[in-house]
Structure 1
């Protein structure tokens, strides 16, 4: 399967479907709860009024072959509650990054993120034949760093002064990864965690 393939991935609580402009209204509503897009380290989250433009930009990156974007659908409500993406695609090295992900506040800590990551990791390791999957997180985003560690990813290191943000601040990026030999244990752990959210 091509690294840029965009299949629908289905779990019990979550469906990852190809991101489309039809998701804009749901996503604008999800991001508006608690003004999620105003979180200072979340520059990749669009404001409600900018959501349609953000989706179009992500679709253009997919057409260019650099990113693979999904809408995260809560199967209980049938509504889009976030976005997740494969990026830094390196098929020649059989590795990629799961990132540029956000979930509306009401979907956080519900098992949705855990199952979405389980689906994406299964896609990466089992369908694409990856030998490593990476996660990159802002040093100061403690919630996301803890969430990535709970997935079973190990911290590889910190890229110091890695990115200059639009407001001029500098981002240190924490890099985590899961490698293919770890995937069976990670899969089992995530499956057991999901059983607690049933």
Structure 2
């Protein structure tokens, strides 16, 4: 079990509930992935409907090793619409990355992602007392980078030729973070985003 835990952590807001990931979520998550054929976007790592059960198993194995806390992202109706995790847990600092995140197109550009990140950063900074929370994405994933920047995260830099993707290309990874000192301002910004008219 991770010291930044528990591994069955549940976070609940008005628009989203982050439920501990389980194989019970596989059918609904397969539908969510199929909604926009998200796994076909070359610069992302969204599991295909056929690969959903094995991806859930992979994340649960990492959970059992203490290096990941995976969630099913569920909308206000309780429907699973995506996945997200606490990962790359560094107990010494402490520091954590929020990543391996994806959402069905119908859940994008609304309050679901904003509130999920608000809940996760709030827990990381206010319960775990993390020094920083990190976000990473492909340098060319403009949609993801805009979403991270809307959260208030700052670009730390680009890791060139950082990892190899399934199609054989090398990913340049854009690394962002929010520090504990920045959290009160970022929190106020996220809270405002969640209450302002859309």
Match of 2:19 in 1: 17
Match of 1:66 in 2: 67
Where does the alignment leave 5 or more consecutive residues of structure 1 unmatched? none
Match of 1:97 in 2: 97
- 1:57 maps to 2:55: no
| SS at structure 1 position matched to 2:51 | helix
| SS at structure 1 position matched to 2:182 | helix
* Cα separation, 2, equivalents of 1:13 and 1:51: 24
Asked whether the 8 Å contact 2:132–2:178 carries over to 1, the reply is: yes
RMSD: 1.3
| SS at structure 2 position matched to 1:48 | coil
| SS at structure 2 position matched to 1:93 | coil
Superposed CA deviations along residues 145-198 of structure 1, whole A, max 9, x for unmatched, are 000000000000000111122222010000000000110111111011011367
Give 1 or 2: higher helix fraction. 1
The correspondence for 1:33, drawn from 20, 32, 35, is: 35
* Cα separation, 1, equivalents of 2:65 and 2:197: 37
| SS at structure 2 position matched to 1:49 | coil
Q: Report the alpha carbon displacement of residue 111 of structure 1 after superposing the two structures with TM.
A: 1.0
* Cα separation, 2, equivalents of 1:197 and 1:36: 29
Match of 1:165 in 2: 165
Q: Report the alpha carbon displacement of residue 4 of structure 1 after superposing the two structures with TM.
A: 3.6
Q: With structure 2 as the length reference, what TM-score do the two structures score? A: 0.96
- 1:48 maps to 2:46: no
Superposed CA deviations along residues 69-111 of structure 1, whole A, max 9, x for unmatched, are 0110102x21100000111110111101000000011100011
Superposed CA deviations along residues 35-66 of structure 1, whole A, max 9, x for unmatched, are 011111112x1111111111111101100111
Change in CA separation of 1:137 and 1:60 when aligned onto 2, cut-off 3 Å:
same
* Cα separation, 2, equivalents of 1:94 and 1:197: 36
Match of 2:145 in 1: 145
